[in-house]
Chain A
Amino acid sequence: MEGVESFLDILEAHDVPGSFYLASSEIHAFQELMIRMNQLGEIGLTAENDFVLLGQPMEVQRDRLLTAREQLGVREIHGVYPPAGFYDGNTIRAMEDIGATICSSRRSQVWCPASSIGGTM
């Protein structure tokens, strides 16, 4: 977590906020880091680990997102940054199923109005 802490130090030193997208199984054991991130900006949802959602059945993707939500202690899901930014139609369907309507994509970084929005820090 050294890289994460020094990264947060940079943001803090320059008074710059961030949007943090976390693999829940990795981060949920570090409550202090999560609280610090929340104070520095906002926390979004990725999945429970770094394996891509792309190519998996909709039900699997949905369950992974729900697992991540539970591990992060998130009550509502608004935006999802799929691991590595890869997603497909099932990701969008899974997001709709759980009530999230923003998909962040690192690959395209093109902002679309309905369901595919680019953004990460």
Chain B
Amino acid sequence: MPGVIDWWDNVDYRERLTIEDLMPAEEEAMPLFIPGEELVPSDAMSTAQIKALPDPLSIIPITEGLADTFEETYEIVQKARGYYVLPYYPETYASRSLQAADFESVVARAKREGAWVVPVSDVLTWWRKRDQVRPVIAALGRDEMHIDLVNDSETPLANLVLEIRGKGDQYQNMRISGGEGEVQYIQELETTFVFLPVIQVGVNRVTLTWR
């Protein structure tokens, strides 16, 4: 029946404390030590420095009216690799109107191009899960990077994709040397994608190397 929405079990946007909020302030992490590589830039970042880093998974809001048509807006969002909330008013647009054709064209294109097309509740579920994982660079060496993925939720999360943006050999040759997962570099996007099958509750260490 209408209105029986089961997704609320997974979605709750009320502010709530996390374990981190209740813990005393973190102490500075130990610097990475690699024997024989004294020049490795391995100074650990302080908690304040880590928190000041830009969110690598940040969302770019696209405001309505950015483009004249649904399809143009879709293209802008696609280039920004963002999300698109498509507002459609069937009582306003006649079934054979330009808007209806525009809408159908975008829907078909999104499906064809493999866009993730879902109801709002699925996005909210994703949003909340995404919000519960914090990537922290624990240590960075000349040819190695240690990333702690902190899962603040109460359950393991599956199929997380970590995006590391940058160009050059370092990113193209990146592979996992510690932890489970697969790495793929997409040249056009200048991004290394790290596909992680499961992120357990708490801290998950992933080590990437490009040596």
Pair from one complex: yes
State in angstroms the CA–CA spacing of A2 and B127 once bound together. Answer: 34
Whether B61 pairs with A119 at a CB distance below 8 angstroms is: no
Whether B3 pairs with A104 at a CB distance below 8 angstroms is: no
- Quick check: which of B6-14, B23-31, B34-42, B176-184 contacts chain A, the rest being far away? B6-14
For A18, what are the chain B residues with a Cβ–Cβ distance below 8 Å? Answer: 119
For A119, what are the chain B residues with a Cβ–Cβ distance below 8 Å? Answer: 85, 120, 123-124
State in angstroms the CA–CA spacing of A62 and B173 once bound together. Answer: 57
**Which residue of chain A has its CB nearest to the CB of B4?**
A75
Whether A15 pairs with B120 at a CB distance below 8 angstroms is: no
Q: What is the total of A-B residue contacts with beta carbons within 8 Å? A: 127
Q: How far is the CB of A40 from chain B (nearest CB, A)?
A: 9
State in angstroms the CA–CA spacing of A109 and B37 once bound together. Answer: 49
For B131, what are the chain A residues with a Cβ–Cβ distance below 8 Å? Answer: 113
**Which residue of chain B has its CB nearest to the CB of A104?**
B120
State in angstroms the CA–CA spacing of A74 and B8 once bound together. Answer: 13
Whether A16 pairs with B117 at a CB distance below 8 angstroms is: yes
For A79, what are the chain B residues with a Cβ–Cβ distance below 8 Å? Answer: 120-121
User: Is A51 in the interface zone, CB < 8 Å from B?
Assistant: no
Q: How far is the CB of A65 from chain B (nearest CB, A)?
A: 13
Q: What would 8 A/B residue contacts be, using CB atoms closer than 8 Å?
A: A2-B95, A44-B120, A69-B3, A73-B1, A75-B4, A78-B7, A107-B64, A119-B120
User: Is B90 in the interface zone, CB < 8 Å from A?
Assistant: yes
Q: How far is the CB of A72 from chain B (nearest CB, A)?
A: 5
With contacts A14-B107, A121-B119 taken as known, whether A101 is within 8 angstroms of B88 at the C-beta atoms is no
**What 6 A-B pairs have minimum CB-CB distances, sorted nearest first?**
A74-B3, A6-B95, A7-B90, A119-B120, A3-B90, A19-B120
State in angstroms the CA–CA spacing of A14 and B162 once bound together. Answer: 30
For A111, what are the chain B residues with a Cβ–Cβ distance below 8 Å? Answer: 59, 61, 127
State in angstroms the CA–CA spacing of A106 and B63 once bound together. Answer: 9
User: Is A11 in the interface zone, CB < 8 Å from B?
Assistant: yes
